[in-house]
Amino acid sequence: SVFLTAQRLLEGAMAQTQMAFELRMLREKLLFRIDRDGGLMSARQATVALGGVDGGWGSSITFRALDADEANTITLETPERRLAATRELATPWLGSGQSRLADSRPFRWQPASGVIEVDANVELVVGGRTYGERQSILSQVMSP
């Protein structure tokens, strides 16, 4: 019916808006503000390492920020499929929101170019239907 079609269109539009907003927040948190020492943009290249690697992609990434005393590890928690860090501003900080990551290994480290890639494909379940948004977050590590 027309009413059901309109309801699904509205539901889809609201889900897309919610996911776009949450992806923007996740991007800002990952790149600049995981904890008081910063995010992936302030990582030292020599300290970046992936965990749970399969096919070049990992389920966790460890790095140390320029001014940090200790390393920070970002892990994809299962079964919730939300990110969590060993050192965050608040709990949950990275994993807040309604969306969840679609992939089980969202991190890739390319040491030759110094690029960290986060495959931020998110899903949002509304009324038994799953909506998705695809995005990749890139960070160029400049510090050795």
Choose between 90 and 30: higher pLDDT. Answer: 30
Q: How far apart are CA 140 and CA 83, in angstroms?
A: 20
Report pLDDT digits (tens) over 29-87.
999 999 989 999 999 999 999 999 999 999 999 999 998 999 999 999 988 899 999 99
Count of other CB atoms within 10 angstroms of residue 141: 22
pLDDT of residue 92: 78
pLDDT of residue 65: 93
pTM of the model as a whole: 0.88
pLDDT of residue 79: 86
Count of other CB atoms within 10 angstroms of residue 45: 14
Q: Does residue 16 register a pLDDT over 80?
A: yes
Report pLDDT digits (tens) over 115-135.
999 999 999 999 889 999 999
Q: Does residue 13 register a pLDDT over 90?
A: yes
Put the strands of the sheet holding 57-58 in their side by side order.
57-58, 107-110, 115-119, 136-140
3-state SS class at 16: helix
Side-chain-side CA neighbours of residue 44 (13 Å): 13
Arithmetic mean of pLDDT, 95-119: 94
> What burial class does residue 40 get, using C-beta atoms within 10 Å of its C-beta: 0-12 exposed, 13-18 middle, 19+ buried?
buried
pLDDT band at 94 (very low <50, low <70, confident <90, very high): confident
pLDDT of residue 132: 94
Q: Does residue 91 register a pLDDT over 80?
A: no
Is there a contact between 141 and 43 (Cβ–Cβ < 8 Å)? yes
